Structure 1
Amino acid sequence: MLRPGGAQLTLWFAIFLTALVLAACAAKSDDVSLPETIKIPAGPFIIGSDRTEREAAYQLDEAAYGHQRTRQWKWYENEPDRQILELPAYAITRAPITKAQYAAFVAASEHPAPDVDPDTWAGYKLIHPYERTRRHAWGDGGYPAGRGNHPVVLVTHADAMAYAAWLSLRTGQNWRLPSEAEWEKAARGTDGRRFPWGDVFDASFLNSHDAGPFDTLPVGSFPQGASPFGLLDAAGQVFEWTATPERSGRFIVKGGSWDDSGCGICRPAARHGRPETLKHILIGFRLVRSHD
């Protein structure tokens, strides 16, 4: 038998290493911690709102809260006027990223786990007491027991981008936060409906303070509230970071949360800017990647 020379050994070793890498990538791509995605086709959709939709949103809020503060504070006046916008194809995670999915990133990268200290929380000047953050905060044992399928919260904009970068390296795909427009198209379809399911608000279709437990719930708990593309939890549950800046140091969040009533803010057209360093119990995220 002829023995291979040094060049042959080097080539065989390189082939062997390549096979190992490909096998590892295949195993990783099948990992249960990978988020499920849905495909959003290229084409036009209706983005934004008109005066009639904004007025209806204010009226929903007033009926729920018994006051006119969202109208007085002009919450919905920064929405773009209703128009047609065209986007290329992309894929988006069907639900917000869960604590279990985020835990794989924390374990692999040693990225700080979601939490916030009392002084930082007090500095945000939010209405929620610090004690309420504890049911969402992570300890030495990881995420809170029984909440692995709840959306991850207490994450900054940079935390969300770090998870996307890690997932990109892990899968060889390009993951990132959605733009505001990408998020809105996935959440409302192409026909400009006011909510993911249609034009009429129904509190049984989402996790909001109207009929919810005043807490996060497992993702996908309201399949009847899915968008025409099949996006879940696009209204209520948690606000979601986008890649679209509002102004320096602030990014647009979309979707409303379990804390909201009304729920004018839960419409896909609604938008608010939040500081990029904010760790909030009401804010999580989902990701997009290039269309296959």
Structure 2
Amino acid sequence: MLDNKNTKIGGAEFKNIKDSNVNIGSVNTSVTAKGDVVGGDKITHYYFHSEVVQASPPLSYEPETIVIPEGSFIMGSDYGEPNEAPQHCVELLQYRIGKYPVTNWQYVEFTRQTGRVVDSALLWDGNRPAQDKLNHPVTGVTWYEAVAYCEWLSEQTGRRYILPSEAQWEKAARTIDGRLYPWGNDWQKDRCNTSEEFTAVDAFPVQNDYGCFDMVGNAREWTTTLWGESPQMPDPKFSSKWQNDGRDNLNAPKTTRRIYRGGRLENFIDYRCSLRGAYLPDKSGPKRDRHSFRVVLLPI
């Protein structure tokens, strides 16, 4: 028993636990915020309205994550590409997202244990990163490989890792006020990588108040969200305002493109947080813009 509002269970730290009733099968119990928090080998209680805070990663290759608070944010744009409209408000529960994209160094253990290789010039023999690229985003990753990494990491850690939805990615990049870029409405070239070469994930300053790096610039990042089969415009059923309507179905056919966000582009206006793109999930991206990803950590 831990008589404390702050406790760590299974590598995650729980703060500000609220009074609640928990019903798990035949187990019906009540937890008081000022009382005991119970964790055991058979049953661990998680609290829907508690703040879930990742403790220091116990595995050296586990990505660091930061809290994106519950609430609404402005998504999309009425003044960008047609597929960004309409601008609208989206309500999301609290979640945690990778502070950085997954790096070569973090990904290499996955390749060692699973035998997968990466289609990227940054990995000189398919499974071993060049020493000077260890802190670069892993690139040349298909959507299926990114999902497999999240599943593998979940098994390794006992925590639930997934790819972000498009809405989760945009909120983490944009915060809540509809700004053009992660840092505000004015273009600042020194805030992100716009060069032909990938850079370390921490080579540029933190991009917003949440503490995220590399949301724009550097590598493109996969999301779970479906786009459709056409490369130009999303399928009409996925082009409306974002909602939890099955557009993040992990079992869609491989002919259905998945949305990616971020990356390096030719025009500064295309570094907007609302810019969208899509690619086939079994492809790793064009030569200049190999795909990467970051993780979302959910309560179990």
Assess same fold via TM > 0.5. Answer: yes
The 1:48–1:108 alpha-carbon spacing in structure 2 relative to 1, beyond 3 Å, is same
Selected match of 2:262 from 255, 259, 268: 255
What residue in structure 2 maps to residue 32 of structure 1?
Answer: 60
Q: Within 5 Å, which residues of 2 pair with 1:98-109?
A: 98-109=103-114
- Aligned to 1:100, the other structure's residue is in SS state helix
Q: Within 5 Å, which residues of 2 pair with 1:146-225?
A: 146-208=132-194, 212=195, 214-224=196-206
Selected match of 1:235 from 209, 212, 216: 216
In 1, the alpha carbon distance for the partners of 2:126 and 2:143 equals 23
The 1:147–1:189 alpha-carbon spacing in structure 2 relative to 1, beyond 3 Å, is same
Selected match of 1:113 from 90, 114, 117: 117
What residue in structure 1 maps to residue 295 of structure 2?
Answer: 287
Selected match of 2:75 from 19, 28, 47: 47
In 1, the alpha carbon distance for the partners of 2:57 and 2:136 equals 22
What residue in structure 2 maps to residue 10 of structure 1?
Answer: none
In 2, the alpha carbon distance for the partners of 1:79 and 1:180 equals 12
Gaps of 5+ in 1: 1-17, 19-27, 55-75, 116-132
Selected match of 2:84 from 71, 79, 83: 79
- Aligned to 2:82, the other structure's residue is in SS state coil
What residue in structure 2 maps to residue 120 of structure 1?
Answer: none
- Aligned to 2:152, the other structure's residue is in SS state helix
Whether the 8 Å contact between 2:198 and 2:219 is mirrored in structure 1 is yes
The structure with more radius of gyration: 1
Whether the 8 Å contact between 1:175 and 1:287 is mirrored in structure 2 is yes
In 1, the alpha carbon distance for the partners of 2:274 and 2:127 equals 39
- Higher RCO structure (Cα 8 Å, ≥6 apart): 1
CA-atom RMSD in angstroms: 1.8
In 1, the alpha carbon distance for the partners of 2:147 and 2:97 equals 15
Higher-helix-fraction structure: 1
- Aligned to 1:240, the other structure's residue is in SS state strand
**Shift in Å at residue 141 of structure 1?**
6.5
In 1, the alpha carbon distance for the partners of 2:267 and 2:113 equals 40
In 1, the alpha carbon distance for the partners of 2:85 and 2:65 equals 27
Over 4 Å off, 4+ runs: none
- Aligned to 2:225, the other structure's residue is in SS state strand
- Aligned to 1:239, the other structure's residue is in SS state strand
Deviates more, 1:244-253 or 1:189-198: 244-253
Gaps of 5+ in 2: 1-40, 42-55, 229-254
Instruction: Return the TM-score normalized by structure 1.
Output: 0.70
- Aligned to 1:251, the other structure's residue is in SS state strand
In 1, the alpha carbon distance for the partners of 2:273 and 2:141 equals 21
Whether the 8 Å contact between 2:141 and 2:284 is mirrored in structure 1 is yes
What residue in structure 1 maps to residue 278 of structure 2?
Answer: 273
The 1:249–1:175 alpha-carbon spacing in structure 2 relative to 1, beyond 3 Å, is same
- Aligned to 1:78, the other structure's residue is in SS state helix
**Shift in Å at residue 104 of structure 1?**
1.0
Task: Give the fraction of aligned pairs with identical amino acids, expressed as a percent.
Answer: 35
- The AA in structure 2 aligned to 1:42 is E
**Shift in Å at residue 223 of structure 1?**
1.3
In 2, the alpha carbon distance for the partners of 1:170 and 1:261 equals 39
Cα deviation 1:80-121 (Å, max 9, x = unaligned): 3111110001000001000010001111222x2102xxxxxx
- The AA in structure 1 aligned to 2:293 is F
In 2, the alpha carbon distance for the partners of 1:162 and 1:140 equals 17
**Shift in Å at residue 232 of structure 1?**
0.6
**Shift in Å at residue 265 of structure 1?**
2.6
